[in-house]
Structure 1
Amino acid sequence: MHKHHGLVTKRGAVLAALLLGVVAGVQAGDYSNVQIFGDSLTDSGAYQALVGPNARFTTNPGTVWSENLGASYGKPVSAAYAAWQAGATAGFTPVANGNNFAVGGARVDLQPGNLSGFPGLRPFIPPVSAQVSDFLARGPVDSKALYALLGGSNDIFVQATLVNGGGSPEVAHAAVRTAANAMTAQVNRLQSASARHLIVIGVPDIGRTPAAGSLPPAGAALLSSLTATYDAALVAGLAGRNLLFFDGNKLFNAIFANPGAYGFSNTTTPVCPGSPPDALACVAAPNGHMFADAVHWTSSLHRVLSDWVHASLEGASRVGLLSLVPIGRSGAQWRSIDDRLQQFENFGYQGQGFFVTGDHASSRKDANGGLPSANGSGGSLVMGYEKAFSEQLFGGVTLGYGNAPFDLGNGQGSVKYDEWALSAFAAHRFGAFYASALATYSWLDFESKRKVVLGPFSSSERGNTRGGQFGVKGQIGYNFVSGNLVHGPLAALAWERVRVDGFSEQSNSVTAMTFSDQTRESLRSRLGWQVAAETDWSGARLRPYAQLSYDYEHNDHQHSYRAGFVGGPAAMDMPITNQSGGYGTLLAGVNAELGKTLRLGLGASTTISQPGARSSAINVTLGAPF
């Protein structure tokens, strides 16, 4: 997992992390663990000791969304509580290494819980607030872990039951608002304890479950209105927070509108209509059903939800590549300029002329740490004018175009990337010493296509944005001359800053995301030794050269951008960081003067000992001096 950025020039690292070593650096897969809180929709085995190994509120032996999400990141998910019952006594025993605190029947902040089976356990079911308390009591919070909360359904069921028994609807709506505020309070507690990566899932419309379908219209309408009240209060409480809010109701609306696309042929009746409404006794295949029992989801529906969460987290993190790729791409523009500077610094180029350079660079990343191997490439065309103002002073300007489409990795999608770059350069000789400098501004254009797969459903989210890049580089060196051989040490320093404008994906679907502006800076140094020679062959003047250098990225400062859903109330900070460190770069080539008005240059370069990756480039230059 490398995103080193060497001093990317013809005499240096090529495309150092065009994209491939850097996917891992921005991938959400860096989560150290997952910690989950909620109710039966998330419970992955709290009742195992009483029911058996298939103790999930779904179509057993299927898995629930929390387990699927953990598996997507290679993190096991296990229950943090074990229910027990001995005669008239019962309770829940904490499980030291469990990371799923969700318990079937849990409310947000109140007891007793809402569980159709095991009435002796209801008074002891830990609400979400107690789950968070038990987690925080374990010790310091891991800021690199992912935290997830889904709850509120049981508070809605309890209040609906009270209204059906003659209670006040106004009191019921106030109670679910209080529950939503309590869920927001749990978010506050986790974030105050240093939780940085946090997701909250809203409650889907309970009025569309089979349980509601068996009620009179007024009963179903009550469940729908209570769900809407809860979600509205939750959205209001989470507005502007540093998290991702998943609108569960919006996902359900998309599924109900086109169930076949998500693999469902039955959205109204459960797989196990005769089982208790806690699905723990439902041992069956989903068979195209959305619901396992009257209220709980089949494992197929859990898969759709977990895929949505995973695809969104991955999409949010991989957008960080948009600010990283241009730093690697700058070398394609600078290689052309360095070729011309080299001719002046080593051999005292005189006159003026035009030149054009074609450059092709490629990068490869080996499979590592669960990430697949990947490859990428890009091309550029640079046109320039150069002039030697005296034997000591040389300069010029270039205009370049680059195209380097890149992959988001792991089948997550791709980005079309184009750039226009305007550069100015100059060099001065002081006897055997020389100094050179260049500056470049680039206009960047991106078109993203993010692949989204939710169970059998597949679609693409598209977006486009622009950006800008400014970079400067300075180099000094000393030449030893021995006959027709020139060689000597060199040292260089380069700084770049990339800005990418925020953008929103163009659809209004449940998976469409929005991203804020992002910036990235790079500070790279180089120490090396170069050698060049001059000779005549068949009427042409040949100047072969080679260089070996060590390049180092110094800037490991962390920046961030925000990612959320289009129209959503909140967005999560996504960190982007350069990986400091270094590696070697080897380049070689030859320049040939084929006549007074024609010059040809060929060059190639590659990185050395770049762990798990390699970058290489070739370029061809045609010059027309006059």
Structure 2
Amino acid sequence: MAANWMRRSFVAATCATTALLAACGSSSIDSAIAPTRIITFGDAMADVGQKGSGYTVNDGSLFNWTQQLASHYGLVLKPVSAGGTSYAQGNARISATPDAAGNAGTPTVKQQIDQFLANPQFKADDVILISAGASDIIAGMAAVQAAAQTEAQYVAATGQAGKDLAAQIGRLSDAGAKHIVVTGSYDLERSPWAKALGKQALIHQASLSFNDELKVAIKDMGKTVLYVDLAYYVNLFEANPGGNGFNNGKDPVCTSVDAGPGIGIGAGQVNSALCTPSTIVAGADYNRYVFADKVYLTPNAQRLFGDYAQQTLSHRW
């Protein structure tokens, strides 16, 4: 089993590098679908600037994986706040409020979908992207730290959040969406946040619970739903940064400290929504870091995953 896992990791890590994407065969297959519209829901992992900035180094590039995927089809993805079709918003939870940072006004993923389904007009070639879960994992950990729930309750609650996300995906499918791409959360055990807390094992259990329950609940939606494994991809980035074009898979590159609740991991922490090329570690090349802050990814990591997600999509539809 260990040998097989290592072989799979090596192959995937090799295919993840930008220079070798074509050699792995993905680019040789043209997608049959040519979407004219991409619609997204979720949290900071899919937020393309709902409040003016994304959760990464805001350098004016395609800084989010959903934008990168859209660019393969010649599409420009903008937030709903700017007249676009991306409903995702940083710190949004699946169905619970307040959000990860304590803001009751942030639309949950359910509320984002409610807003869209108030006037659903799906086109046959629409692609829906959903990336969420991190905010529920972060909020649950804060409740554990505040002794508001036990560790066992935390893991159970994140599992329920995975089921809740599956229910929202089902609503979209039932309403006529035919191409729904779902990522779940990456394993936040890998994040600088989990390591700083010294709670990697617990946060791993919560991340696994979320993703496992989500995948079980969508297993019968295979006709319209595609799961793309963000967790596996970030594992490769963090564990083998050099093999994927990075030189730092452990530390945040941004220095943009937020005096407020920021991304929900506490006051006085780096918040990448405030990060620009002028607020990074001195002398650092942020394109060679995996993490922008203690949770969210740099533009280069986002783009690499966006390429992978598009290739996976092209194999399916």
Normalised to the residue count of structure 1, the TM-score between the two structures is 0.41
The residue that corresponds to 2:190 in the other structure is 208
8 Å CA contact retained: 2:189, 2:201: yes
- Aligned pairs for 1:547-626 (under 5 A) are 563=316, 574=317
1:107 matches 2:107: no
CA distance in 2 between counterparts of 1:143 and 1:160 reads 40
Q: 2:272 aligns with which of 256, 270, 279?
A: 279
CA distance in 2 between counterparts of 1:258 and 1:206 reads 16
The residue that corresponds to 1:154 in the other structure is 135
Q: Secondary structure at the match of 1:290?
A: strand
- Aligned pairs for 1:313-324 (under 5 A) are 313-314=313-314, 316=315
The residue that corresponds to 1:292 in the other structure is 292
Q: 2:226 aligns with which of 221, 244, 252?
A: 244
CA distance in 2 between counterparts of 1:252 and 1:128 reads 22
**1:168 CA drift (Å):** 1.1
Q: Which amino acid aligns with 1:278?
A: N
The residue that corresponds to 1:32 in the other structure is 36
CA distance in 1 between counterparts of 2:154 and 2:136 reads 9
Q: Which has the higher contact order (CA 8 A, sep 6+)?
A: 2
**1:253 CA drift (Å):** 2.4
Q: Which amino acid aligns with 1:228?
A: L
The residue that corresponds to 1:170 in the other structure is 152
1:287-341 deviations in whole A, cap 9, x for unaligned?
4110011111000110111010111122x1xxxxxxxxxxxxxxxxxxxxxxxxx
Q: Which amino acid aligns with 2:167?
A: A
CA distance in 1 between counterparts of 2:196 and 2:256 reads 14
8 Å CA contact retained: 1:29, 1:73: no
**1:29 CA drift (Å):** 4.7
Q: Secondary structure at the match of 1:268?
A: strand
The residue that corresponds to 1:397 in the other structure is none
CA distance in 2 between counterparts of 1:143 and 1:110 reads 31
Higher helix content, 1 or 2: 2
Q: Which amino acid aligns with 1:231?
A: N
CA distance in 2 between counterparts of 1:274 and 1:72 reads 31
**1:139 CA drift (Å):** 3.2
CA distance in 1 between counterparts of 2:237 and 2:292 reads 16
CA distance in 2 between counterparts of 1:28 and 1:128 reads 29
1:85-116 deviations in whole A, cap 9, x for unaligned?
xxxxxxxxxx5x4200000110001111113x
The residue that corresponds to 1:56 in the other structure is 54
Q: Which amino acid aligns with 2:117?
A: L
1:18-45 deviations in whole A, cap 9, x for unaligned?
xxxxxxxx73451121000011111011
CA distance in 2 between counterparts of 1:274 and 1:181 reads 34
The residue that corresponds to 1:75 in the other structure is 75
- Structure with bigger gyration radius: 1
1:428-452 deviations in whole A, cap 9, x for unaligned?
xxxxxxxxxxxxxxxxxxxxxxxxx
**1:220 CA drift (Å):** 2.1
The residue that corresponds to 1:144 in the other structure is 125
- Aligned pairs for 1:172-251 (under 5 A) are 172-216=154-198, 219-242=199-222, 243-251=225-233
The residue that corresponds to 1:467 in the other structure is none
**1:165 CA drift (Å):** 2.0
The residue that corresponds to 2:108 in the other structure is 127
Residues paired across the two proteins, number: 266
CA distance in 2 between counterparts of 1:43 and 1:310 reads 18
The residue that corresponds to 1:255 in the other structure is 237
**1:68 CA drift (Å):** 1.1
8 Å CA contact retained: 2:287, 2:298: no
**1:186 CA drift (Å):** 1.1
**1:70 CA drift (Å):** 1.2
**1:203 CA drift (Å):** 1.0
8 Å CA contact retained: 2:228, 2:312: no
Q: Secondary structure at the match of 2:304?
A: helix
**1:210 CA drift (Å):** 0.9
1:363-409 deviations in whole A, cap 9, x for unaligned?
xxxxxxxxxxxxxxxxxxxxxxxxxxxxxxxxxxxxxxxxxxxxxxx
The residue that corresponds to 2:306 in the other structure is 306
The CA RMSD over aligned residues, in Å, is: 1.8
**1:273 CA drift (Å):** 3.9
CA distance in 1 between counterparts of 2:235 and 2:55 reads 22
Higher strand content, 1 or 2: 1
8 Å CA contact retained: 2:127, 2:179: yes
8 Å CA contact retained: 1:42, 1:102: yes
1:46 matches 2:50: yes
8 Å CA contact retained: 1:265, 1:289: yes
Q: How many percent identity over aligned positions?
A: 27
CA distance in 1 between counterparts of 2:286 and 2:184 reads 23
Q: 1:267 aligns with which of 240, 249, 253?
A: 249
CA distance in 2 between counterparts of 1:105 and 1:148 reads 17
**1:274 CA drift (Å):** 4.7
8 Å CA contact retained: 2:40, 2:88: yes
**1:199 CA drift (Å):** 0.6
Q: Which runs of 4+ in 1 moved over 6 A?
A: none
CA distance in 1 between counterparts of 2:197 and 2:150 reads 19
The residue that corresponds to 2:265 in the other structure is none
8 Å CA contact retained: 1:105, 1:154: yes
